[in-house]
Amino acid sequence: MNHNIRIETGTHGGDHFGFTEELFSGWLEYDPDNKILYLHYIISRKKNEGNTTALIRRWLNMGYDVRVVMPCPIMQHILEKKWFEKSFEMFPDQYAEEVEVWKSTERSYVGVSTFTI
């Protein structure tokens, strides 16, 4: 059973992760048991300012395992420069088959903060 927490911009959870409505629109899932952030959808409200890259770097520096689900070509370009590799995972509550997921190969392990709803 999937116990991931869905987090959207404009919420307490989004703000906690720096996924603020001022800078982004979208949603992610947080797997608290494994400290994984799955970024499902993101639109930068301030294009070409590096906010998406900064957000991903922040998550990695906080020690999260960051994964991007079915990224668009522009996002793939960003991920390739930031130590991500393509893989596949199942999301049985959302898709019938495995989907493309880009996984971080780097993690800081500085210390993962806890988050509860």
Q: What separation, in Å, do the N-terminal and C-terminal C-alpha atoms of the chain show?
A: 19
**Could you read off the pLDDT of 32-91 as tens digits, one per residue?**
999 999 999 898 998 888 899 899 999 999 999 999 999 999 889 888 887 799 999 998
Q: Let me know: does 63 contact 108? Beta carbons within 8 Å.
A: yes
What average pLDDT score do residues 7-13 get? Answer: 94
21 — pLDDT class (breaks 50, 70, 90): very high
Task: Flag whether pLDDT at 2 surpasses 70.
Answer: no
On whether residue 109 sits in a domain, the answer given is no
pTM attached to this predicted model: 0.83
Determine the structural domain holding residue 35 and report its residue range. Answer: 5-104
- Find the CATH number of the domain harbouring 27: 3.40.630
Q: How many structural domains comprise the chain?
A: 1
Cα–Cα distance for residue pair 49/32, rounded to 1 Å: 30
